[in-house]
Structure 1
């Protein structure tokens, strides 16, 4: 069998992608694409999980119509959000979205019960207000107590397709509940939440065979015979698997989408005090690895600007307009909490610039330029941290995901970090998902061969650094801007 389908769902869109391997070349074909996004109801933010499941079914039906009678299937989505099941295996409520404000102040409240240092020593996961630990702490206690099972979003989608209950490790690790030493849920943190270990399914590694889609779904919806393979269900974990390895060159990656995840792949966690102070995370990866990385706000900023502008311009058009604007005129600290989910991103950016005495970006192009300049400077700052924490000198930065298509951002990044940037493949998440399936199916020997095949199958564009006028003054200005915003946050 040479039909492998990746279900890849992000915060703004999802798709089903067919992967086939022929003569050592991996080819992709998009079968079905759909939009995604949370909605607000009664002041809370929720995902429409039934809609996502139905779109998977639609995509598989399209595959059947196209002549695919059997295939393997893997699922990846975003992290940290969870689904509660009752004693009958039914979903108990709508699924909260991580940008919901119910966790405001919760991280500090939990910190008074167990120190952040203890939590980091146990889990190695960075402190983020939307981690599942804080979401679950904010959840109604009676409802949690009544939950028979707690699944992550991709676990739930696998469950709907097969009836199999799992907690896949790459996604489960983002909950900030897994203990690095025991490689299981931490008993102290479960006690803090009044939860029991049996409310979570067995931890499951990428590559495990989960059986077939239920016969009822196949017959009712005219679907292919799909053997479900457990992918690295956290989309970043799949994206990292899809990064071609650079031989004899030390590299870091940025998985660039709604979030920019900057990091390296390690065979051991780094959860010391320095890593905690820099707020780096140790998310579990496939095949015994760890993703040591920093979460950066990412293209969410420009996605919101485009949405609020009525979608008048495509992302490519916004990048083109940004390129015509004066560079480094206005800057924002991308990772400041005020940009996580403001009421209006455009006005929030403008307020931040006005408050810091900078020119206020008025046009869509000026707003986009502000975002891209600020992201490139953020990448430089966090890359320097990454080198210090790992003791590695990074020679090349590999940008994968949707952001690899943004030529302006890629060139700005190369210029600011002073190193080569390799952009692509843009479909790294789907590729990593497919790689796990193909390894399980015996089509590829291991992840090393998979990465070699990915590197030869897809175009990678090189961006060499160009001189930035008065770079030293720009970096001093950037540091002062961060210091000022950090001081305001502490007030």
Structure 2
């Protein structure tokens, strides 16, 4: 029986998920979980990448202790951030977080050199200050000149594990530097940020075997024999692979977590003027697809409310408090950059409501209801924009990821959109990671079979619309 390990690392935590197929169903088990977060070091918010890699080895030792001597492994993380590696194959510095303030105003500065329309025509990618294009524009040029290779976070982890360097396309596409026509990094954009194509390792597709874990790690840790597979390494790309859509109906997805990403799986990019006007993005997906979607701030705002709250409440308890508050009393623009990384999220929400002359949320329930109501309003808006741009009327909305557990938000979304809302699986990112490994190992034939197995393996909750709510 083949064993598969998903290393799934998000902005606030990471975990190792062990999986195999048993009687036609996916069996998944979390074997190790660890915290993640950035810290201010030398005036920048940085990720402790070495600590994350140590946690991976700790998790692999736990797998070995379970009696598993051999397994496949894939790594997915957030996108856009990177590690610079010198000619000695050592990291130059810990990676800077996309929430760092260094990219403020970078879009305006860069687009004074090349127009937004030109960039979008080339890349089809949504304009966000966190994109790698603007990070490189703001990068310390002295450090950049020392770099032999620039590796995105999951590619760097794969490099540490195997010694092999690649650039996986689903993550590379989020940089806003990958040209839709040439399928290579765009020369003009690279010139503007003062890098050349040889800074990047060769591009590779999801589902390729990267290699075996290096022997030197076995001298330090008690590890199974690990074959590393390059999966859809952007966590949203893996989450979309994990969508259990098995009908012929038109469907859209909402990957709900720290970020909310609402969109469709498309066989071709959609970089029309209308898509540009609505700031939609064409991120590359697994198996020749494109993720035509809109990035929305997501549950990061609730995570920050929880962190700052004096009450020791779980997310479930916070959602229950939100359910006791009338919906849509106060609405904020969740995509406003003021909510990207404020000093105090609670005060920022209250200030936004004060400025817009709305009731000011004070209690935890009021704050969380404000966020849920605002997110649901934004989901409805962007789903309508999606239908207008594509000319499709979507019958189903699949909500996957950790946010699929928030029944309150799921119901508000169903009420406003009027769509059939299916919630789950919550572990879609890890599951998508795993099934790409299974397809690479030829245990599953293709993504169609994978999605049928996912649908049969996990409970999916349906939410019916009460169209009178939120109107």
Q: Deviations over 1:272-314 (max 9, x none)?
A: 1110110000001111000000000000010000001146100
Match in the other structure for 1:479? none
Corresponding position of 1:341:
341
Work out whether 1:116 is the aligned partner of 2:116: yes
Map of 1:284 onto structure 2: 284
Once the two structures are TM-superposed, the CA of residue 470 in structure 1 deviates from its matched residue by 6.8
Instruction: Check whether the contact 2:301–2:371 (CA below 8 A) recurs between aligned residues.
Output: yes
Q: What are the equivalent positions in structure 2 for 1:270-419 lying under 5 Å apart?
A: 270-310=270-310, 312-419=312-419
TM-score (ref. length: structure 1) = 0.95
How much has 1:469 moved relative to structure 2? 4.9
Match of 1:13 in 2: 13
CA-to-aligned-CA distance 1:228-249 (integer Å, 9 cap, x gap): 0111000000000000114121
> How far apart in 2 are the matches of 1:310 and 1:246?
44
> Cα deviation per residue 1:91-122 (whole Å; 9 max; x = unaligned)?
00121000000000111000001111111111
Match of 2:139 in 1: 139
Q: Deviations over 1:34-59 (max 9, x none)?
A: 11111112432111100110000100
SS at match of 2:269: coil
Distance 1:467 1:391 in 2: 23
| Aligned mates of 1:145, 1:31 — CA distance in 2 | 40
* Contact kept? 1:263, 1:386, Cα under 8 Å: yes
Question: Is the CA contact 1:401–1:425 (under 8 Å) kept in the aligned structure 2?
Answer: yes
In structure 2, what is the equivalent of residue 25 of structure 1? 25
Map Cα deviations across residues 138-168 of structure 1 (whole Å, 9 max, x no partner). 0011211221000000000000000000100
The question of 1:95 aligning with 2:92 is answered no
- Do the aligned partners of 1:145 and 1:194 also contact (CA within 8 Å) in 2? no
Report how far residue 342 of structure 1 moved: 0.8
> Who is 1:57 aligned against?
57
1:233 matched to which residue of 2? Answer: 233
* Compared CA separation, residues 447 and 88, structure 1 to 2 (3 A): same
Aligned-pair CA distance for 1:327: 1.4
Quick one: structure 1 residues 20 and 111, their matched pair in 2 at CA, closer, same or farther if it must change by over 3 Å? Answer: same
For the residue of structure 2 that corresponds to 1:385, the secondary structure is helix
Q: How far 1:76 moved relative to its partner? A: 0.1
Shift of residue 211, structure 1, vs aligned partner: 1.1
Query: Could you report, residue by residue, the CA deviation over 1:242-276 in whole angstroms, capped at 9, with x for unpaired residues?
Result: 00114121110000000000000000000111101
Q: Counterpart in 2 of 1:190?
A: 190
Moved over 4 A (4+): none
Quick check: 1:217 aligned with 2:220?
no
Q: Could you tell me how far apart the structure 1 residues matched to 2:469 and 2:295 are?
A: 29
- CA distance in 1: counterparts of 2:308 and 2:9, whole angstroms: 22
CA contact (8 A) 1:218 1:225 kept: no
Deviations 1:379-415 (A, max 9, x none): 0000000001111101111100001100101011101
8 Å Cα contact 1:319/1:406 also seen in 2: yes
How many pairs were matched up?
Answer: 471
Return the alpha-carbon distance in structure 2 between the equivalents of residues 46 and 394 of structure 1.
40
* Alignment partners' CA distance in 1, 2:419 and 2:347: 34
Does the C-alpha gap of structure 1 residues 86 and 358 become closer, same or farther in structure 2, counting only changes over 3 Å? Answer: same
Name 1:482's counterpart in structure 2: none
RMSD value over aligned CA atoms?
Answer: 0.9
Unaligned runs of at least 5 residues, structure 2:
none
Which residue of the partner structure matches residue 36 of structure 2? 36
